[in-house]
């Protein structure tokens, strides 16, 4: 495996071992997953996890996802393994699906924001799996960005966003899925979709039947796990538009999907028509446009259809001011 890692991603066995030993010392390591880069810490070390919250500037009310190297290791952090979890894991792990399960008391409260559940997933990126195998630890990792900012899909994004707040970055190239994992709770009587993401609702329902959706939290008093309305924002104001209608003032860029722009002067970027390809490009595009200093980014709204659910969720949050 290390040889393959080197050939595919330019990552050596020595780098993996170094990163793993930093994790064991309570340090922070950013690493690639198939979704976005994670900011990892030993999930069983409360002080290390506290540093993750500090580095991100993230409120401690927002729980972290714990990454493990295989489904068999879930029992090291979760107390239950329902039949539905088994089915979902067989189909979608390693992959962009996080399962929320009753927690094992060994997991420090800071990881789960005091909840009695824990979010856990097996990531699909070979570099992440090599790191988890070498560290022999469950690794708590939120996306490796400052709170409310865009998630990173390259090592450069991590460097730009977190700088010296992270002890080490494993550069495994660009992430292929490009948006965060789907978060599904199996800790209630019925499965609840907490965040749409890399695995679609339809893919899950095909396997375990109908799932419900958590309603949006309405106040800061209940910053319901991670579904913060202002997550995933670029610095440049972003607006969702229909029929190509663009702002008349300022210098802007239009991310076109289906509708040609009504204003001829805007800079136009064509986005992929396929939701998966669109997702893979979205954050990288927004990171680039943030550097370019436009007054606005107008996004041709994708259709309100099931296959666009995760992309639309991110765009709506990005448009929130």
What H or E segment, with its residue span, contains residue 29? strand 29-31
Instruction: Report the DSSP pairing between strands 65-67 and 139-140.
Output: antiparallel
Torsion 74-1-49-147 (CA) sign = negative
Give 71's contacts (C-beta < 8 A, 6+ positions apart). 86, 89, 93, 122
| Other Cβ atoms within 10 Å of 293 Cβ, number | 9
Burial 134-161 (b: 16+ CB within 10 A, else e): bbebbbbbbbbbebbbbbbbbbebbbeb
| Other Cβ atoms within 10 Å of 233 Cβ, number | 20
Quick check: 15 binds Mg ion (CB under 5 A)? no
**Identity of the residue, 298 or 311, whose beta carbon is nearer to ligand TXA in the bound complex:** 311
Among 27, 157, 165, 195, binds ligand TXA (CB under 6 A): 195
The interface region with Mg ion, picked from 75-83, 105-113, 141-149, 169-177 by CB under 5 A, is: 141-149
**Identity of the residue, 114 or 303, whose beta carbon is nearer to ligand TXA in the bound complex:** 114
Minimum distance from residue 115 beta carbon to Mg ion (Å): 17
Decide: 179 and 310 in contact? Cβ < 8 Å. Answer: yes
Site string for ligand TXA, 247-286 (x = CB under 6 A): ----------------------------------------
- Torsion from C-alpha of 2, 164, 226, 42, nearest 10 degrees: 50
Site string for ligand TXA, 26-65 (x = CB under 6 A): -------x-xx-x-----------------------xxxx
Classify the phi-psi angles of 26: left when phi > 0, otherwise alpha if psi is within -120 to 50, otherwise beta: left
| Partner that binds at residue 181, options ligand TXA, Mg ion, none, CB closer than 5 to 8 Å by kind | ligand TXA
Minimum distance from residue 62 beta carbon to Mg ion (Å): 9
Give 288's contacts (C-beta < 8 A, 6+ positions apart). none
Quick check: 196 binds ligand TXA (CB under 6 A)? no
**Identity of the residue, 65 or 68, whose beta carbon is nearer to ligand TXA in the bound complex:** 65
Q: Which residue has the tokens 């927002």?
A: 62
70-109: contacts with ligand TXA (CB under 6 A): 96, 98, 100
Quick check: 143 binds Mg ion (CB under 5 A)? yes
Is omega for the bond preceding 54 within 30 degrees of 0, making it cis?
Answer: no
Among 32, 225, 252, 275, binds ligand TXA (CB under 6 A): 225
**Identity of the residue, 58 or 254, whose beta carbon is nearer to Mg ion in the bound complex:** 58
Number of residues interacting with ligand TXA: please give it, by CB under 6 A.
28
| Partner that binds at residue 195, options Mg ion, ligand TXA, none, CB closer than 5 to 8 Å by kind | ligand TXA
| Tokens of residue 22, six digits | 């930093």
Quick check: 311 binds ligand TXA (CB under 6 A)? no
The interface region with ligand TXA, picked from 116-124, 156-164, 279-287, 305-313 by CB under 6 A, is: 116-124
Residues near ligand TXA (CB under 6 A)? 33, 35-36, 38, 62-65, 96, 98, 100, 112, 115, 117-119, 123, 141-143, 180-181, 183, 194-195, 225-227
């Amino acid at each position: 495996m290390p040889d393959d890692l080197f050939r595919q991603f330019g990552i050596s066995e020595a780098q993996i071992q170094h990163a793993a030993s930093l994790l064991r010392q309570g340090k922070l390591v950013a690493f690639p997953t198939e979704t976005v880069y994670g900011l990892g810490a030993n999930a069983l070390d409360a002080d290390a996890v506290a540093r993750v919250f500090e580095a991100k500037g993230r409120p401690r009310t927002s729980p972290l996802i714990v990454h493990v190297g295989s489904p068999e290791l879930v029992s090291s952090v979760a107390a239950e393994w329902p039949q539905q979890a088994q089915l979902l894991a067989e189909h979608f792990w390693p992959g962009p699906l996080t399962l929320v399960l009753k927690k094992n008391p060994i997991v420090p409260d800071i990881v789960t924001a005091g909840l009695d559940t824990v979010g856990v997933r097996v990531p699909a990126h070979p570099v992440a799996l090599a790191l988890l195998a070498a560290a022999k630890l469950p690794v708590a990792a939120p996306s490796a960005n400052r709170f409310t900012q865009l998630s990173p899909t390259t090592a450069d994004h991590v460097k730009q966003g977190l700088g010296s707040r992270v002890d080490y970055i494993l550069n495994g190239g660009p992430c292929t899925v490009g948006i965060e994992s789907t978060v599904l709770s199996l800790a209630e009587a019925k499965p609840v979709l907490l965040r749409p993401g890399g695995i679609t609702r339809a893919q899950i329902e095909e396997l375990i039947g109908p799932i419900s959706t958590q309603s949006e939290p309405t106040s800061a008093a209940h910053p319901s796990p991670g579904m913060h309305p202002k997550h995933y924002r670029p610095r440049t104001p972003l607006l969702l538009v229909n029929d190509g209608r663009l702002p008349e003032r300022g210098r802007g860029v239009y991310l076109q999907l289906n509708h040609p722009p009504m204003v001829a002067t805007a800079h136009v970027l064509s986005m992929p028509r396929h939701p998966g390809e669109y997702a893979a490009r979205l954050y990288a595009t927004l990171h680039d446009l943030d550097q370019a200093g436009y007054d606005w980014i107008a996004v041709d709204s994708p259709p309100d259809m099931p296959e666009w659910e995760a992309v639309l969720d991110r765009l709506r949050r990005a448009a929130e001011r």
